[in-house]
Chains A and B, each alone.
Chain A
């Protein structure tokens, strides 16, 4: 009886696949982990969007590329992913602002990235960080409601600027 029970239970566990190995996470840089964890903040007042490089590339290869477009295509070869966070209320703003403190302090080096440009105006601020081939833009609108964070993994600051020059806005 015990033997039959063992066989049946073994069969059941095998069918249900309980011994499946956990998924492997790819290696991430410090800032990639930071943004990854940022996405785990739950709030109805924080919007979040992510697209993968593969999907981004799909967008471009379907376009009838002109010369500038081809230039863009060369940039996106290095792309890994694009993320954007957007707060639309006081509660979401406060939570996000607290989480973003390392970036909002405009330190010259933070999370393995370098502060490339920043601007303060009318209570708001914009800071652009770049490093390890990634670029991050954080914008505090200074209205106690809106902060946006755009993080492009695998896009250098130079390519980021060229993106803007080509009229592709990532903000």
Chain B
């Protein structure tokens, strides 16, 4: 009995002293002790001393239930203040929830994915808000279910498994690496890199757990460090490429060779960011693409017969550049589309876009994400919406019978797009594209070229660039 009590006391004191090195808030310290209790089953823990981050997450049903019980005991999900920290943000959807508290010294973030039995608790010395949110840009402020858009910024709290993956020895895993990936580059690229590098690190971790000497452990750690560095370097490179882009386009991942579409982050009104969030997530069963005016012009040169040579696609005139600079800083106009290709993709798209379909267009107050409804067509076969803001047209159509959903977006406004194409010269001749070359009607975007006169000869190019599902059905 005496020995048991003595051992228990020593264990408690030892645990307390370990935590005390990093956490000084006694209530928070106790909370962490409870999370770390041996009876809670296997779980991952990781920490980054430099950034002052500690995280723990469940790995199976037992640990999920144990950690959940502690969260429930403190009534954290319904508290507006806990451990001297104020509730800053909370979101719930489909059984998952995320919550952030912030105090003067510490921040607490919890992500609970009930259906996958994954629960992550992160404690950070400093700002938990800044850790997970990038806030900037002007525009609308919306609270929108689990995705909270701040100024058109998708502020979805994403502190899932890829962020916290540490297993002992925790020193091999630096939380900041995964966290920084999540914030800086699009999600698909994040996963691609994660899937490429993480298995290598996992393999080293497994070896480290059975290491028999300090030297061996040191070698494994050095190797893991070099992999992490390669990972970080690649992130920095991709980040740089994205920063350098002035228009949507593709980047090739050096390590895997896979290409991804990326959109500049500094676009006007954050529209590209929103498009990024709506177009490039949950893309199973969907196809998406981005075409700039230049790329469309190049498509013409490869498809049309006359005239097809001498296109100057190197750039725009200074006048047009100046206009773009004022209208859409850093970006040329672009045409983007997202289309469902399977029934699952259809359901996902409908889910993402469902808010649009509540619009009825009766007056100007019917706006969504700053877009005004211009036209709505409801028939037995389909529903079509045309929305517009200062620089962007959005066309959405839903064919329930066909299980097809499509969204077309013209960023930059019709006139800017038109001017961009008009500004492209053929053999030095300006005004190749004349009149209203972009026609939006009944679910189609038609970019129609007019006549062109070169050296006194008139050509009827006869090329129509038509997208849209309606034509496919006809």
Query: Do A and B share a complex?
Result: yes
- On A, residues with C-beta under 8 Å from B are 1, 4-5, 8-9, 11-12, 15-17, 20, 23-26, 36, 39-40, 44, 46-52, 54-56, 58-59, 62-64, 69, 81-84, 86, 88, 141, 146, 150, 167-171
A23 lies within 8 A of B82 (CB): yes
Q: Mark B131-152, 1 if CB is under 8 A from A, else 0.
A: 0000111101111111010110
Residues of chain A lying within 8 A (CB to CB) of residue B26: 17, 20
Which of chain A's residues has its CB closest to B74's CB?
A: A23
A169 lies within 8 A of B358 (CB): no
B12 lies within 8 A of A49 (CB): no
Residues of chain A lying within 8 A (CB to CB) of residue B33: 16
A146 lies within 8 A of B358 (CB): yes
Q: A17-B30, A55-B89, A169-B367 are in contact. Are A44 and B151 (CB under 8 A)?
A: no
B13 lies within 8 A of A15 (CB): yes
- B93 at interface (Cβ–Cβ under 8 A)? yes
B9 lies within 8 A of A59 (CB): no
- B473 at interface (Cβ–Cβ under 8 A)? no
- Closest approach, in angstroms, between the C-beta of B78 and any C-beta of chain A? 6
Residues of chain B lying within 8 A (CB to CB) of residue A83: 143
Which of chain A's residues has its CB closest to B365's CB?
A: A164
- On B, residues with C-beta under 8 Å from A are 2, 5-6, 8-9, 12-13, 16, 26-27, 29-30, 33, 78-82, 86-95, 102, 129, 135-138, 140-146, 148, 150-151, 354, 358, 367, 370
Q: Which of B27, B86, B93 contacts A20 (CB 8 A)?
A: B27
Which of chain A's residues has its CB closest to B360's CB?
A: A122
- Closest approach, in angstroms, between the C-beta of B387 and any C-beta of chain A? 14
Q: Which of B16, B30, B146 contacts A47 (CB 8 A)?
A: B146
Can you list 19 residue pairs at the A/B interface with Cβ under 8 Å?
A8-B6, A9-B5, A17-B27, A24-B81, A25-B81, A39-B78, A47-B91, A47-B146, A48-B92, A50-B90, A50-B91, A54-B88, A55-B129, A59-B150, A84-B144, A141-B358, A146-B358, A167-B370, A170-B142
Q: Which of B8, B13, B87, B142 contacts A52 (CB 8 A)?
A: B87
Instruction: Give Cα A15 to B16, complex, Å.
Output: 7
- Closest approach, in angstroms, between the C-beta of B320 and any C-beta of chain A? 26
Q: Which of B30, B141, B146 contacts A59 (CB 8 A)?
A: B141
- Closest approach, in angstroms, between the C-beta of B133 and any C-beta of chain A? 8
A23 lies within 8 A of B12 (CB): no
Instruction: Give Cα A160 to B81, complex, Å.
Output: 26
Q: Which of B81, B144, B146, B151 contacts A63 (CB 8 A)?
A: B151
Instruction: Give Cα A50 to B93, complex, Å.
Output: 12
- Closest approach, in angstroms, between the C-beta of A71 and any C-beta of chain B? 14
Question: Interface centre among A11, A36, A49, A52, by most B CB within 10 Å?
Answer: A49
A52 lies within 8 A of B92 (CB): no
B146 lies within 8 A of A40 (CB): no
Instruction: Give Cα A129 to B264, complex, Å.
Output: 41
Residues of chain B lying within 8 A (CB to CB) of residue A56: 141
Q: Which of A8, A36, A51 contacts B88 (CB 8 A)?
A: A51
Q: A12-B8, A62-B136 are in contact. Are A20 and B92 (CB under 8 A)?
A: no
B146 lies within 8 A of A49 (CB): yes
Instruction: Give Cα A160 to B138, complex, Å.
Output: 19
Residues of chain A lying within 8 A (CB to CB) of residue B86: 52, 54
Q: A59-B151, A62-B136 are in contact. Are A86 and B30 (CB under 8 A)?
A: no
Instruction: Give Cα A86 to B144, complex, Å.
Output: 8
Residues of chain A lying within 8 A (CB to CB) of residue B102: 54
- Closest approach, in angstroms, between the C-beta of A130 and any C-beta of chain B? 18
Residues of chain B lying within 8 A (CB to CB) of residue A170: 141-143
Q: A59-B135, A63-B151, A167-B370 are in contact. Are A49 and B358 (CB under 8 A)?
A: no
Residues of chain A lying within 8 A (CB to CB) of residue B81: 23-26
Residues of chain B lying within 8 A (CB to CB) of residue A150: 143
Residues of chain B lying within 8 A (CB to CB) of residue A63: 136-138, 151
Given contacts A16-B30, A44-B95, A49-B146, 14 further A-B contacts (CB under 8 A): A5-B5, A8-B9, A12-B8, A26-B81, A47-B145, A49-B91, A49-B148, A51-B148, A55-B88, A58-B135, A63-B151, A84-B145, A169-B141, A170-B141
